[in-house]
């Protein structure tokens, strides 16, 4: 059992003092029947807990695992430069849950501002490391639009390995397929800076559009529009853990 005040704090609804005030001001309801909460220290079972804060429904999650369809023109940074942050597309509690210097969910590997597609966010450090570490070889699938018609030798070079300017060791694609004349499907198991763009440039072509369609066994749902997000299911999280 966990005090309601601590539950609200863990979910990102403010400091413990703020969360206490929300309860005392009658702004919190708990349970499926939306029972008004009156005691900030009321112990509650977090398993399957549903509550409302200022009318907004929230389901308790011990850890946050979120899938977003990243739109173009957004940066994967809490302090963006020229473009809006992807974090502005999320509700406030997801951006502040947990408190402290590392509050909120973090992107599991960044996508460039002009890259679209599947983006996972979480506040689980071990989970993030599992998906981003090259040691674990988690495949990421990219749909690449190129400027010039693809040639067979370009695809073959991507599979054999190309040398990037900051690493003498060749970088190989786990899979590469010419889906169309200007459409390359590329699978990578590591994430270097601008890796897809640099690999394509190394074989004499140029990326005109980039979209991540899958990570591990998880495929971006067709019904999740750019800018939208949803919670990952327990099975999806387990699948990503491997």
The answer to whether position 237 is within a domain reads no
| Its pTM surpasses 0.75 | yes
- State pLDDT tens for residues 140-171: 999 999 999 999 999 999 999 999 887 778 99
The answer to whether position 242 is within a domain reads no
Which CATH number covers residue 170?
3.30.70.1560
- Give 201-239 as a 3 state SS string: HHCCCCEEEEEEEEECCEECCCCCCCCCEEECCHHHHHH
Structural domain total, the chain: 3
208 and 146 within one domain: yes
Residue range of the domain that includes 37: 2-59
The answer to whether position 17 is within a domain reads yes
206 and 154 within one domain: yes
55 and 76 within one domain: no
**Active-site option among 6, 34, 112, 114:** 112
Q: Encoding tokens for residue 156?
A: 């073959």
State residue 137's pLDDT score: 87
CA distance 37 to 135: 47
Contact 30, 38 (CB under 8 A): no
CA distance 2 to 233: 23
Q: Which of 95, 61, 55, 56 is nearest to 78 (CA)?
A: 95
- State pLDDT tens for residues 8-48: 999 999 999 999 999 999 999 998 899 999 999 999 999 99
75 and 12 within one domain: no
Q: Does the annotation mark 166 as catalytic?
A: no
204 and 143 within one domain: yes
Sequence-ordered alpha helix ranges (H) in 68-174: 92-96, 125-132, 152-160
128 and 73 within one domain: yes
Which CATH number covers residue 87?
3.30.70.580
């Amino acid at each position: 059992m966990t005090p309601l005040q601590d539950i609200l704090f863990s979910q990102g609804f403010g400091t413990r003092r703020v969360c206490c005030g929300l309860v005392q001001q009658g702004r919190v309801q708990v349970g499926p029947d939306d029972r008004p909460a009156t005691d900030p220290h009321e112990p509650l079972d977090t398993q399957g807990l549903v509550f409302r804060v200022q009318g907004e429904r929230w389901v308790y999650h011990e850890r946050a695992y979120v899938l977003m369809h990243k739109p173009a023109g957004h940066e994967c940074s809490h302090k963006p430069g020229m473009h809006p942050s992807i974090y502005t597309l999320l509700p406030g509690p997801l951006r502040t849950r947990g408190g402290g210097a590392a509050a909120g969910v973090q992107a599991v590997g960044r996508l460039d501002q002009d890259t679209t597609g599947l983006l996972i966010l979480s506040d689980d450090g071990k989970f993030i490391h599992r998906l981003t570490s090259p040691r674990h070889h988690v495949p990421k699938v990219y749909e690449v639009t190129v400027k010039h018609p693809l040639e067979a030798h370009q695809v073959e070079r991507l599979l054999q390995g190309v040398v990037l300017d900051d690493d003498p060791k060749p970088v190989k694609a786990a899979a590469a397929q010419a889906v169309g004349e200007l459409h390359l499907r590329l699978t990578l198991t590591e994430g270097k800076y601008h890796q897809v763009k640099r690999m394509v440039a190394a074989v004499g072509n140029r990326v005109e559009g980039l979209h991540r369609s899958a990570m591990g066994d998880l495929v971006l749902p067709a019904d999740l529009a750019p800018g939208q997000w949803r919670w990952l299911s327990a099975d999806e999280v387990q699948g990503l853990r491997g």
